[in-house]
Amino acid sequence: MKNSILDLIGNTPVIRVSRLDTGVCNLFLKLEDRNPGGSVKDRIALSMINQAEKEGLISPGSVLVEATAGNTGLGLALVAAVKGYRLLLVIPDKMSKEKILHLQAMGAEVIITRSDVNKGHPEYYQDMAEQIASETRNSYYVNQFGNQANPLAHERTTGPEIFRQLKGNIDTIVCGIGSSGTMTGLTRYFKKVKPDVEMIIADPAGSVIKDYADTGSYGDAGSWLVEGIGEDFIPPIADFALVRKAYTISDTESFSKARELLSKEGILAGSSSGTLLAAALKYCREQSVPKNVVTFVCDTGNKYLTKMFDDSWLKEKDLLIDGIPSG
């Protein structure tokens, strides 16, 4: 018996992929879509709000302000609804209609801004959120990109869960990077319990993360349609200490793999999960000795039914070939 919906956050199941070609490796998926808000971001939302309360940064009547690609906003909306906070979110205009309607249904106030501008521009979603917070009385800028309670959630919960569920038999973890909280938290945990674990990055084509992982520098970002991962800057909380390789994955391949995951494994996953799966499969097929590889179903595909699961949308974006997502 649970006393609150928030008590259902975490302890998500892990399953082994059985109908996709994983080479000599075992590929496991941690089903973060089973969190009550439908994504891995429930974990950090609860952690960041709890920590802000603990430090006296927020109290009844406070206004929470955040920049989000959608799922952190949904996690914050869930926690804010239960705890009674007003929530104001700034979201880039490429986000799915389902996410926006879900946020509004939960009582969040949504401001939609441009997705074609980079950090430093006044209409860039993070800069706009920070500006709004500075102008709003009794507000708190959550700032997932710089908030240490973000990776702490994964260090304290996600990492130990994976270690327990696989009985410590883990060789590789494949992550995407948005705020970098998942990768950083897992890195901090596995440094302590199994420092030989390899972290592999799955990065959308157009993002600067792979270039930085490979060379320590990066240029201008491009654009991509996958939501929630990929960046035009390096998040200040990012820890690349265990990263051994990074893959660039196109939108086409991301959407194709997400749809293949549904058709072959029966798992309805979101766009970033397709990116992670594509990279994980590439990594697995490159190995010559068996390894246990873990990646994530970051969120549910229910949030993308009018996008990557809609053939007409894929055709409009030139991502459909002869009625089948290309990949």
Same-domain pairing of 206 and 268: yes
Average pLDDT over residues 291-320: 94
**C-alpha 251: how far from chain center:** 16
* CA 129 – CA 176 distance, rounded (Å): 23
Answer for the pair 164, 193: CB distance below 8 angstroms, yes or no: no
Per-residue pLDDT tens for 27-43? 999 999 999 999 999 99
Tokens representing 175 are 């992550």
Q: Which of 112, 141, 170 is the last residue of a domain?
A: 141
Same-domain pairing of 162 and 270: yes
* pLDDT of 324 higher than 90: no
Per-residue pLDDT tens for 188-238? 999 999 999 999 999 999 999 999 999 999 999 999 999 999 999 999 999
Same-domain pairing of 22 and 47: no
Average pLDDT over residues 263-277: 98
Per-residue pLDDT tens for 129-180? 999 999 999 999 999 999 999 999 999 999 999 999 999 999 999 999 999 9
Q: Which of 115, 141, 167 is the last residue of a domain?
A: 141
Answer for the pair 226, 250: CB distance below 8 angstroms, yes or no: no
Confidence of residue 115 (pLDDT cuts 50, 70, 90): confident
Reading phi first (left if > 0) and then psi (alpha if -120 to 50, else beta), residue 23 is in: left
The boundaries of the domain holding residue 76 are 41-141
pLDDT at 69: 81
Burial of 266 (0-12, 13-18, 19+ CB in 10 A): exposed
Same-domain pairing of 320 and 254: yes
Confidence of residue 120 (pLDDT cuts 50, 70, 90): confident
Measured between its terminal Cα atoms, the distance across the chain in Å is 44
Same-domain pairing of 175 and 227: yes
Same-domain pairing of 194 and 261: yes
DSSP string, 5-32: GGGGSS---EEE--SS--TTSEEEEEEG
Average predicted confidence (pLDDT) for the chain: 95
Q: Which of 90, 113, 141 is the last residue of a domain?
A: 141
Considering the domain boundaries, does residue 68 fall inside one?
A: yes
Confidence of residue 325 (pLDDT cuts 50, 70, 90): low
Domain count, the chain: 2
CA separation, residue 169 to residues 23, 160, 197, 280, 293 (Å): 18, 12, 10, 17, 9
Same-domain pairing of 87 and 187: no
Q: Give, in degrees to the nearest 5, the angle at Cα 157 between 9 and 202.
A: 95
Residue 92's DSSP bridge partners are 113
* CA 319 – CA 252 distance, rounded (Å): 6
Average pLDDT over residues 306-326: 81
Nearest to 128 by CA among 98, 228, 136, 63: 136
Of 183 and 325, the structure prediction assigns the larger pLDDT to: 183
Per-residue pLDDT tens for 9-32? 999 999 999 999 999 999 999 999
pLDDT at 322: 56
Same-domain pairing of 218 and 239: yes
pLDDT at 326: 52
Q: How many helices (H) and strands (E) does the chain have?
A: 11, 12
Residues 6+ apart with CB under 8 A from 266: none
Considering the domain boundaries, does residue 258 fall inside one?
A: yes
- Half-sphere exposure (Cβ direction) of 117: Cα atoms closer than 13 Å: 15
The catalytic residue positions are: 41
Measured from the Cβ of residue 306, the count of other Cβ atoms closer than 10 Å reads: 12
Measured from the Cβ of residue 191, the count of other Cβ atoms closer than 10 Å reads: 15
Same-domain pairing of 66 and 135: yes
Per-residue pLDDT tens for 104-113? 999 999 999 9
* CA 144 – CA 155 distance, rounded (Å): 15
Considering the domain boundaries, does residue 66 fall inside one?
A: yes
pLDDT at 229: 96
Answer for the pair 20, 285: CB distance below 8 angstroms, yes or no: no
Confidence of residue 282 (pLDDT cuts 50, 70, 90): very high
